[in-house]
Structure 1
Amino acid sequence: MEHDSVKQIRSEHEATAAAKKIFHNVARPGSKFIYLEDLMRFMREDEALRTMATFEDAYEHGRISKKSLKNWVLNAYRERKALALTLNDTKTAVNKLHNIINVIVGIIILIIWVVVLEIASSELIALLSSQLLLAAFIFGNTCRTIFESIIFLFVIHPFDVGDRCEINGVQLVVEEMNILTTVFLRNDNMKTTFPNSVLSTTPIGNYYRSPDMIDLIEFAVHVATPVEKIALVKQRIINYIVNRKDHWCADPLIVIKDLDDLSRIKFSLLATHKMNFHDMGERLERRSRLAEEMVNIFKELDIEYRLLPVAVNICNLPNSSRFPSTWTAAESSDKID
């Protein structure tokens, strides 16, 4: 047991240290990458190929970098940690529910026991019944709330601890789940608590349970841009996405979205990630790389946006000896006159 406890990773720092140790044990001495031949020392060729496909950029370049290995180990640690927190919160909620049921069952058994043994008189039973009706009237809303929360938590169960969700247009990460409430963490690390009875009637989007998601990037070109250049821009953008098989699906779509005052053409690029948006940092990084590549393509092909010419009519020019710096010719002619 002590030997197994040493191997457990309990923090992101330990996960990073474990990734470095794995890299140095698998890679050849002095090498900055892990190659397919290095993996084949520990597994079969088909297993090594599947392993390469799980790391970022590894399948495309035929090697695993330190950064890719570290990110993979960190993601694995975070997923396992989220799973452990989910199981812990579920166990806590089940224990609380068990205590509530025990109290209810105890009261019912007590009432049945009193009635069967005829310990209480009819007047006492009537008094207790009236008190129970009063308690039901007072705590009826609370019991309903508890029942709705239990159904939401154990039957509907739209999320787990660690899931990135969208509620009322705000992205939140599930931090803690209780019977009556759920605690979320906003992007700025502010904790927000929602009653489960309210969440049961609120539309909830779950990024973690979503399939591969689509990203939208819009750009515009001048209306006078040649059709050949536009076609070349489309082709180069599509080629970049297709060549990044680890990040993007090979079915991007570039369509004309709108014409703006006959001065520019607006395009929309729809590209499908090979991931959902649960890891928002990774999504933004991939989107940023694609946008940078698009900017480079625009510069290389001399694609630019020009404003429409504006007619300026000068009706009256005040008498002044001061001229703009570019009007040197006009100033010299006035001096000659």
Structure 2
Amino acid sequence: MSLDSRGLSRSTTLFSSHGLLPLSLQKVQSFTTGARKPGEGTLCDFSQQDDVKTNEKSGWSGRRKVKKLDVRPVHVETNDEAVEVNRLGRVYKKIIHFSILTRYVVYILPVALLIAIPFIYFAAFRPTDLFVNTGVRVHLFWAWIEITWLSFWGTKLLSKTIPQLFVTLCGVVSSGTRKYAAILRAVETQLNLVSWALISLATFTTFMHPALSNQLHQKHWISVVKNLLGASVVASLLYLGEKMFVQLISINYHRRSFDIRIKDNKHFIRLLSYLYEASRTLFPTNCPEFIQEDSIINNSLKNKLSKASESRSGSATPMRIVGEIGKIGGKMTSAFGNIATEITGKQSYAHQSAHYVVCEALKKVDASEALAKRLWMSFVEEDHEALYSDDIREVLGAARYEIAEECFAVLDEDSNGDVSLEEMIMKVVDIGRERKAIAASMRDVGQALRVLDQVLTTILLVIVILTFVAFQHTTFITTLATAGTTLLSLSFVFAATTQEFLGSCIFLFVKHPYDVGDRCDISNTTLVVERISLLFTVFKRIDTMRMVQIPNMVLNTLWIENTSRSKAMKEQIEIFISFDTPLEDIETLRSLMERFVRHPENSRDFQPEVIMETISVNSMDKLSLKIEIRHKSNWHNENVRAARRSKFMCALVTAIRQVPIYGPGGDGDALGGPKNPRYTVSVTDEWAANAVKESSEAKKSKRLIPLSTESKENSADQTQQKSALDSQLSEEPIKNLSRNNISADIQVSEESNETPETTLREDYQRLENIESLRQGLLKRQSTRGRRRVGEVIPSALQQVSTSTTFNPISAPNVVARQNFDLEKQVGLNSQCPR
């Protein structure tokens, strides 16, 4: 942000005096000290009854007495000569603009009197006369015309009072229903049409009845008119329903999306108006202290003031006065503002009011920066570099203590107790940017609503035409059913378009994921919303600044992360460090980073906590370290986000080098390099054996749980027993025996005329049986029983068990030892040693 040419760079301190590391990261303006002298305040309160009124059109009016200006209208037809109406024309204008009743009387009475003349004449003198071939008396027809004319204006007045009646009656039940009064105000015309159509149909049916005209049968034209009026009632009801539907979407959308934002923005502008009026009281406009800032602020008013001056007569201004138009034009338009204020009670032309100046300055970035700089320097004392709440209270006075606290709370977003010039500029620029974003978003949404209204109106027009035709021709229903079937069979033609239209409407008006100016992350791409339409949205990429147009139907299926709507955000940074890094070094790194974020110059940007977590050891070759920092704001502003993140990353790199903490592989040089050469030596066998033994003992000594000697001996005995058993049951003796048997069997088979194939098949079958038996014996070794040989139940107890149930708890010592060995009888004891 370029404020003036008096900028000097100031270094940012990373840590405290213990290991300070100066790091030049930000640029701070040199002239960042206040211009207000100590103790200087508003000596006399600037006369403001309620300060700045809540109404956005209110502001400060001048106190200079003005002369009456010549504001007579000028017409091109009279060669720029002033033309004014005569006395009768002035009386007519006064009657028209006096009230709505007088205006309606002027509109209604002349036509009503003209219609009443034939009605009164035929009703009084010729009551039995009929229109030719109509079967309706003349005075009844003119009576219906008179009622139709008066009912149109009567229903118009009634439609204007319906919203107020709705608020009065429904507000008793629930205050939340009052918001629907806005819908009734928006559909006054449609309510008027419905009421008028109903009254016209009812009166026509009454006055055109054959009995009133002494007719036996009703004429055909009366039926036709009845059908037209009935179709008009249906069409007006459909039109009313369509408009109420669109207005309901609009009101709910604006209430949900813009109501809070608009109120907050108006509130911020009102507070800035307080501060600007106090600043002008201390330092008048174009004073030597703020000549540069006031020049930039006044330049923002030139275009509008020049347009206002050109609209008046005698606007041919010499070129030498154009440079002073910001000063002279402001005073002239302020005169108009005073006159308008006296007449209407609103300061609609108060160009010198604080509210108007602030609103105009917020339209441009340079004017917003100048306004912020003027406010900050006029409140901050001399030789001070920060704005405190005491400064605002001192300037505004004790009578405005609450306003001063509210102003400081709005400016001090990070809640650190002071406001720097950079924070002040950023806040004022953000207020202006938010104001423009709200206006752009409302414009785009209004355009989308108009498109939706046009589409629905087109569909409604087709339905209304079909309704009028159906009322006139009863057989048209059958034709309509046939046409509907044909149209339904062709629905595949416009099915995709209808789906996209309805999906876009739901996405935009119901889901509403973003507004104009919001920063969003879509599919890992950072975008800024530039324009919103009914079927598509235009974005601008942050990385390439390209414009991207995406259909809303596609966006409906994607994850949208809205950064602008988020509050304070956090960031996680993952780094890989050496596996040999001591835990004390990691803790030292965390303390250094906490010291950095808690430094007064950095506490405006970051929360005071830094979380450091070791998330993985990977393959024990490196450590994964996650560092989490918390920002005090979101990342809506890309420049601020990049500057803060760069500042933190530079501090992190500096701290890692200071500890130090090395990357994967440690701090050793590469093997074979100039700092770590590779060479070989020859050693004796005895020295090598001792080195291996010493290395093994060193590894054993580092174990947390040393290995037990007994467990080693037991494992060795088990290994010897297993090897002995394997030797006894090895496959070699069996294979040798099998080969001898096979050769012998072959000789026998030759003598007994047997084929070798049969003999080999039988021998291989025996080998498979022997192998299965050997595997079973090996498995049996690990699953042997626990009962001793000869332990059986006594015979006497077996006899008792036939009559009673055996209870081992009642007879614990019933086991007798006998010389009974089942395995010895089977013959397996010799083959399977215990």
**Which TM-score applies when normalising by structure 1?**
0.79
Q: Which amino acid aligns with 1:193?
A: Q
Report what 1:258 is aligned to: 616
Report what 1:113 is aligned to: 468
- Percent identity, aligned pairs only, is 26
Q: Is the 8 A contact 2:590 2:611 kept in 1?
A: no
- Counting only pairs closer than 5 Å after superposition, residues 87-236 of structure 1 correspond to structure 2 as 87-118=442-473, 125=480, 128-129=483-484, 132-133=487-488, 136-187=491-542, 188-236=544-592
Report what 1:323 is aligned to: none
Report what 1:74 is aligned to: 429
Q: Is the 8 A contact 1:263 1:307 kept in 2?
A: no
Distance 2:373 2:546 in 1: 33
Distance 2:457 2:616 in 1: 64
Tell me the number of residue pairs that the alignment of Structure 1 and Structure 2 aligns.
313
3-state secondary structure, aligned to 2:605: coil
Shift of 1:221: 4.2
Distance 2:413 2:566 in 1: 20
Deviations 1:153-199 (A, max 9, x none): 10111111111111122111111111111111111221111111111
3-state secondary structure, aligned to 1:253: strand
Distance 2:540 2:597 in 1: 33
Distance 1:269 1:122 in 2: 73
2:622 matches 1:269: no
Distance 1:12 1:232 in 2: 43
Distance 1:94 1:229 in 2: 61
Q: Which amino acid aligns with 1:161?
A: V
Distance 1:256 1:53, change over 3 A: farther
Shift of 1:47: 4.5
Distance 1:92 1:146 in 2: 15
Shift of 1:56: 6.6
Distance 1:278 1:200, change over 3 A: same
3-state secondary structure, aligned to 2:387: strand
Q: Which amino acid aligns with 2:408?
A: T
2:396 matches 1:39: no
Distance 1:120 1:137, change over 3 A: farther
Shift of 1:74: 1.1
Say what the alpha-carbon RMSD is for the aligned residues. 3.2
3-state secondary structure, aligned to 1:249: strand
Q: Is the 8 A contact 1:114 1:120 kept in 2?
A: no
Distance 1:121 1:39, change over 3 A: closer
Deviations 1:46-94 (A, max 9, x none): 944872674477x54x543322211111111112211111111111111
Q: Is the 8 A contact 2:529 2:540 kept in 1?
A: yes
Q: Is the 8 A contact 2:469 2:476 kept in 1?
A: no
Shift of 1:241: 3.0
Name whichever of 289-298 and 186-195 sits farther off: 289-298
- Counting only pairs closer than 5 Å after superposition, residues 7-22 of structure 1 correspond to structure 2 as 7-8=358-359, 9-22=362-375
Shift of 1:7: 3.5
Name whichever of 120-129 and 98-107 sits farther off: 120-129
Name whichever structure is richer in helix by fraction: 2
Distance 1:92 1:257, change over 3 A: same
Q: Is the 8 A contact 1:12 1:74 kept in 2?
A: yes
Distance 1:126 1:296 in 2: 80
Distance 2:611 2:483 in 1: 71
2:590 matches 1:237: no
3-state secondary structure, aligned to 1:17: helix
3-state secondary structure, aligned to 2:626: strand
Q: Is the 8 A contact 2:389 2:408 kept in 1?
A: no
Q: Is the 8 A contact 2:513 2:562 kept in 1?
A: yes
Q: Which amino acid aligns with 2:469?
A: V
Q: Is the 8 A contact 1:263 1:308 kept in 2?
A: no
Q: Is the 8 A contact 2:518 2:564 kept in 1?
A: yes
Distance 1:103 1:135, change over 3 A: farther
3-state secondary structure, aligned to 1:265: strand
Q: Is the 8 A contact 1:256 1:268 kept in 2?
A: yes
**Which TM-score applies when normalising by structure 2?**
0.34
Deviations 1:301-324 (A, max 9, x none): 344554445444569xxxxxxxxx
Q: Is the 8 A contact 2:577 2:622 kept in 1?
A: yes
Distance 2:427 2:594 in 1: 27
Q: Which structure's CA Rg is the greater one?
A: 2
3-state secondary structure, aligned to 2:557: coil
Q: Is the 8 A contact 2:470 2:477 kept in 1?
A: no
Distance 2:425 2:636 in 1: 19
Distance 1:90 1:105 in 2: 22
- The equivalent position to 1:249 in structure 2, one of 607, 612, 621, is 607
Q: Is the 8 A contact 1:52 1:63 kept in 2?
A: no
Q: Which amino acid aligns with 1:144?
A: Q
Name whichever structure is richer in strand by fraction: 1
Shift of 1:262: 5.0
Distance 2:487 2:438 in 1: 42
Distance 1:63 1:275, change over 3 A: closer
3-state secondary structure, aligned to 1:144: helix
Report what 2:723 is aligned to: none
